[in-house]
Amino acid sequence: MRILDLTFKDLAQILRDKRSLLFLVAMPIVFTLFMGFAYKGGGEDATAEPRIVLGWVNNDPDGLLSQQLQRMLSDSGNFKLVELAPEAASEAFRNGDVAGALIVPARYSEGLEGSPMQLTLVADTASAQGQSLYQLLRKTVTRLLSAAEIARLGAETTGYPGDASELEQGFIAAVRAWSETDSASLIKIVTAVAEPEQAWYGNNPYNQASPGILVQFAIFGLVSSGQILVQERKTRTLQRMMSTSMRPWEIVAGHLLAMFAIVFLQEALLVVFGQMVLGVNYAREPLGTLMISVGLGLWIAAMGLLISVLAKDDSQVILFSLMGMFLFSAMGGTWFPLEASSGAFAVIGKLMPSAWAMNGYQNILIRGLGFESAYLPASVLLVYALGFFGLAVWRFRKMSI
């Protein structure tokens, strides 16, 4: 009972301070909204043009061969043609307005009756995009010239090699036949349309921002509760309390319960805000969310207790809390997913208790896993809580000697 009395005393003292509400609720909500907008803004634009933007410079605008080439490129679905003047092709490529520019020479269509003329491609063929552009153009141009060759052979077979109309009709027929062959079922299509690639945060950027800020500000929220123990030492209230029948472990337990209650209250408010306002589906696995939140609250409360017994004054409480917040936030994946990092940073980061908390929340919110996915993260957080609690009790006993 005396443990609960001490706990309620700490809670009343913290909640009377309006600044505590600012750190516990207002600031986490503002930062959650900001980070969610940042993640969403950093994603790829779903409306971005999927085709290669190709500059089209046609010096043979009335020719049958050049007109057919333009139609084939447009119908292929690989290119978005942008008509350019000859003098603007190189500048458009240098400015990045187009991935490349295809220059059709004058009298290009005369190649239908004789040797084909060469096209000019302005592009960086050393780059991956330039190579793709070259290969796609090569395929289309090969089809075009093959159709022209078929038309010439057909005209020679019928005995009218010099008849221009016969060549043109044969060319058009060859192109049409080739197009129909391409659309036939020569290849079995298993997946006609690929599913759009989902963003790393799932369908909602707040799936990362909400638990990330929850973990980060839960650590910093310990400033208020940590200062209580410092004030008790300064006013010698703690020393008088230890001279009573209240045993040291009861004093530690009372302060720990108060810290846990504050952290868990903050977590609950931010979970409800995320669920109701931001559409973060914590309620998909409510017991899993509860298990991770309890483990997180116990770890942070135990760490807060250690900070409060180590700090000699209020400034050190703030300093240690800030150090803990930035260390565990930056290394634990609360600002960005650890999958995006590598090397020693990723290895160390995955060992952080904050990383286990984030992993547990992300199993539910992003990966769509079930209640059992919360077992391991919650267990690891409990182990960390016991470790920090043991250090805090050891330090507290040295203080009482």
Q: At what angle do helices 353-365 and 314-331 cross, to 10 degrees?
A: 50
Tens of pLDDT, residues 131-152: 777 888 888 888 777 777 776 6
Whether 205 contacts 36, CB under 8 Å: yes
Amino acid at 62: D
d(CA 20, CA 91): 59
- DSSP letters, 63-123, are -HHHHHHHHHHHHTSSEEEEE--GGGHHHHHHTTSSSEEEEEPTTGGGGGTSSPPPPEEES
Q: Which pLDDT score is estimated for 76? A: 77
For residue 264, the number of C-alpha atoms closer than 13 Å in the C-beta half-sphere is 19
Q: Which pLDDT score is estimated for 386? A: 92
- DSSP letters, 53-66, are EEEEEES-TT-HHH
Tokens representing residue 337 in the block: 């997913």
Whether 251 contacts 309, CB under 8 Å: no
Q: At what angle do helices 206-220 and 248-276 cross, to 10 degrees?
A: 150
Q: Which pLDDT score is estimated for 378? A: 92
Tokens representing residue 246 in the block: 């209240």
Q: Which pLDDT score is estimated for 376? A: 92
Tokens representing residue 353 in the block: 């208790």
Q: What is the DSSP letter of 198?
A: P
**Cα first-last separation, the chain:** 25
d(CA 121, CA 133): 9
The β-bridge relationship of strands 120-122 and 100-104 is antiparallel
- DSSP letters, 323-391, are HHHHHHHHHTTSSS-GGG--HHHHHHHTTSHHHHHHHHHHHHHTS---GGGGHHHHHHHHHHHHHHHHH
Closest CA to 58 of 78, 73, 48: 73
Spell out the long-range contacts of 307-312 with Cβ–Cβ below 8 A and sequence spacing 24 or more. Answer: 307/222, 307/226, 308/222, 308/225, 308/226, 308/227, 308/228, 308/229, 308/230, 308/255, 308/392, 309/229, 309/392, 309/395, 309/396, 309/399, 310/395, 311/226, 311/230, 312/230
Q: Can you say how many angstroms the Cα of residue 188 is from the centroid of all Cα atoms in its chain?
A: 34
Tokens representing residue 225 in the block: 């509760």
pTM over cut 0.75:
no
Whether 171 contacts 147, CB under 8 Å: yes
Helix, strand and coil percent figures for the chain, each rounded to 5: 70, 5, 25
Q: Can you list the domains of the chain with their CATH numbers?
A: 2-43+201-400 (no CATH), 52-183 (3.40.190.10)
Amino acid at 245: S
Q: Which residues of the chain have pLDDT under 70?
A: 1, 11, 13-15, 17-27, 31, 34-50, 111-116, 125-126, 128, 151-203, 221-222, 224-225, 239, 242-245, 248-249, 339-342, 399-401
Residues contacting residue 194 through CB under 8 Å, at least 6 positions apart:
none
d(CA 273, CA 287): 18
